[in-house]
Amino acid sequence: MRSIKYFILYVLALAFSSCAKDELPHPTGRTVMVYMAANNGLNGDAYTNINQMESAFKDVDGKLLVYARLKNVAPAIYEISYDTGTAIGSRIVKTYAEHNSSDPLVMRSVIQDMQALAPAESYGLILWSHATSWLPDPSIRLKSFGDDAGETMDIISLKNALPDDLDFLVFDACSMASVEVIYQLRDKAHYILASPAEVIAVGMPYHTMLRYLYQTDLAHGLKQAAQAYYNYYNQQNGLYQSATITLVDNQKLPILAAQVGEILRLQSATWSVLERDNVQRLDFAEGSPTAGFDLLEFYQLNFPKADLSGLKQALTSSILFKAHTAQFNGQIIRSYSGLSMYIPHVENAWVHPYYKTLDWYNASAANYLFKWVP
pLDDT value, residue 143: 63
What pLDDT digit, counting tens, does each position of 45-103 carry?
999 999 999 999 999 999 999 999 999 999 999 999 999 999 999 999 999 999 999 99
Stated pTM of the model: 0.91
Secondary structure letter of residue 281 according to DSSP:
B
pLDDT value, residue 5: 33
The least confident of 21-25, 80-84, 195-199, 245-249 is 21-25
8 Å CB contact between 359 and 250:
no
Higher pLDDT, 26 or 306: 306
Pairing of strands 319-324, 63-69: unpaired
Write out the CATH class of domain 28-251: alpha beta
Q: Where are the alpha helices (DSSP H) in 62-125?
A: 104-117
Secondary structure letter of residue 141 according to DSSP:
T
Q: Which amino acid is at 346?
A: V
Cβ neighbour number for residue 118 with a 10 Å cutoff:
23
- pLDDT for 4 beyond 70: no
Torsion of CA 349, 355, 356, 359, to 10 degrees: -170
Higher pLDDT, 42 or 268: 42
Cβ neighbour number for residue 6 with a 10 Å cutoff:
10
Secondary structure letter of residue 214 according to DSSP:
G
pLDDT value, residue 8: 36
What pLDDT digit, counting tens, does each position of 202-255 carry?
999 999 999 999 999 999 999 999 999 999 999 999 999 999 999 999 999 999
pLDDT value, residue 374: 65
Mean pLDDT (the chain, rounded): 90
8 Å CB contact between 125 and 166:
yes
8 Å CB contact between 191 and 250:
yes
8 Å CB contact between 256 and 318:
yes
Domain ranges of the chain: 28-251, 254-319+330-370
Mean pLDDT of 130-149: 76
Cβ neighbour number for residue 3 with a 10 Å cutoff:
7
Cβ neighbour number for residue 277 with a 10 Å cutoff:
8
Q: Where are the alpha helices (DSSP H) in the chain?
A: 2-22, 43-56, 104-117, 155-161, 179-184, 206-209, 218-234, 253-267, 295-302, 309-318, 352-355, 359-363
8 Å CB contact between 127 and 157:
no
pLDDT value, residue 269: 84
pLDDT value, residue 48: 97
- Cα gap 32→374, rounded to integer Å: 43
Contacts (Cβ under 8 Å, ≥6 apart) of 36: 46, 49, 50, 66, 67, 68, 69, 70, 128, 129
Nearest Cα to 293, choosing from 257, 255, 334, 251?
A: 334
Nearest Cα to 324, choosing from 233, 205, 203, 201?
A: 233
